[in-house]
Amino acid sequence: PGAAGPALRVEGLSRHFGSLRAVDDVSFEVAPGSRHAVIGPNGAGKSTLFALVAGALPATSGSVWLHGEDVTSLTEHGRARRGLVRTFQHSSLFLTATARENVLLAVQRRHGIQARPWGAVRRRRALLEEADAVLERLFLHRRSGQAAGALSHGERRQLEVAVALATSPSVLLLDEPAAGMSPADTQAFQEIVLALPSDVTVLLVEHDLDLVFGVADRVTVMQLGQHLLTGDPAQVRASDAVQKAYLGA
């Protein structure tokens, strides 16, 4: 439903912690196929907003819409089943399984194969091909036989995206992917975001402005829980209000 409308819309979204308005009446839209970044100084409410959109945290008020459907009352799992998928945390990777096996498990989940994962030989081959295509897209094909636990920090982040992508999301949520990454890993991660399929909408919450301006076609700026501005990267760079927010005014 709602193919022509925004992929994702938040409407008057708020989350209060006691008297603190961590997210305060935020509204914006994410266009289908866009690479949309949410930025803002520390404490702006980015992580809280991300949790509200993913469904990991209930909103105090407001709503979240996915392709025209109100998903506010759905759990994180319910939203994921409708295609709103966040990257999985490190802890959700099977560290002793190979990169390929981790992606294959996600492909199997997507096809609803649980009881007899190895099924018919032909089907197994098709699933493996799907897993390998995802690994190749994420530049991990040379690592496919490595245990996830043996990958570098940056490669594990890549694998988390691969696992999320293997579930065939319509909207992919990336939560501060560059956090704790070296400059080289961040640079590599930029290539990965740029290589994601164009029909997957990406909402990226990120502190690293080099990464944001390297990948985003649309940027939402938050400050002290509030929506400051949504615009294209040039508009955001040129904004006096954004400059002030980042200089800690």
Span interacting with ligand ADP, options 37-45, 103-111, 151-159, 231-239, rule CB under 6 A: 37-45
Span interacting with Mg ion, options 39-47, 121-129, 193-201, 226-234, rule CB under 5 A: 39-47
Q: Which does 223 bind (CB under 5 to 8 A by kind): Mg ion, ligand ADP, none?
A: none
The CA–CA distances, whole Å, from 149 to 54, 91, 93, 109, 187 equal: 26, 10, 8, 21, 22
Q: Judged by CB under 5 A, which of 47, 72, 186, 190 binds Mg ion?
A: 47
Q: Judged by CB under 6 A, which of 47, 72, 201, 230 binds ligand ADP?
A: 47
Structure tokens at 247: 């200089």
Q: What is the 3-state secondary structure (H, E, C) of the chain?
A: CCCCCCCEEEEEEEEEECCEEEEEEEEEEECCCCEEEEECCCCCCHHHHHHHHHCCCCCCEEEEEECCEECCCCCHHHHHHCCEEECCCHHHCCCCCEHHHHHHHHHHHHCCCCCCCCCCHHHHHHHHHHHHHHHHHCCCHHHCCCEHHHCCHHHHHHHHHHHHHCCCCCEEEEECCCCCCCHHHHHHHHHHHHHCCCCCEEEEECCCHHHHHHHCCEEEEEECCEEEEEECHHHHHHCHHHHHHHCCC
Span interacting with ligand ADP, options 42-50, 165-173, 184-192, 231-239, rule CB under 6 A: 42-50
Q: Judged by CB under 6 A, which of 5, 29, 33, 43 binds ligand ADP?
A: 43
Residue 223 interacts with Mg ion (CB under 5 A): yes or no: no
Phi, psi of 30 (to 5 degrees): -120, 120
**In this complex, which beta carbon is closest to Mg ion, that of residue 42 or of residue 91?**
42
Q: Which does 20 bind (CB under 5 to 8 A by kind): Mg ion, ligand ADP, none?
A: ligand ADP
Q: Judged by CB under 6 A, which of 9, 26, 36, 48 binds ligand ADP?
A: 48
Span interacting with ligand ADP, options 46-54, 134-142, 146-154, 177-185, rule CB under 6 A: 46-54
Residues 153-212 that bind ligand ADP (CB under 6 A): none
Q: Judged by CB under 6 A, which of 36, 46, 157, 218 binds ligand ADP?
A: 46
| Site size for ligand ADP (CB under 6 A) | 11
**In this complex, which beta carbon is closest to Mg ion, that of residue 90 or of residue 125?**
90
Q: List residues binding ligand ADP (CB under 6 A).
A: 17, 20, 22, 40, 42-48
Q: Which residues of the shown chain bind Mg ion in the complex (CB under 5 A)?
A: 46-47
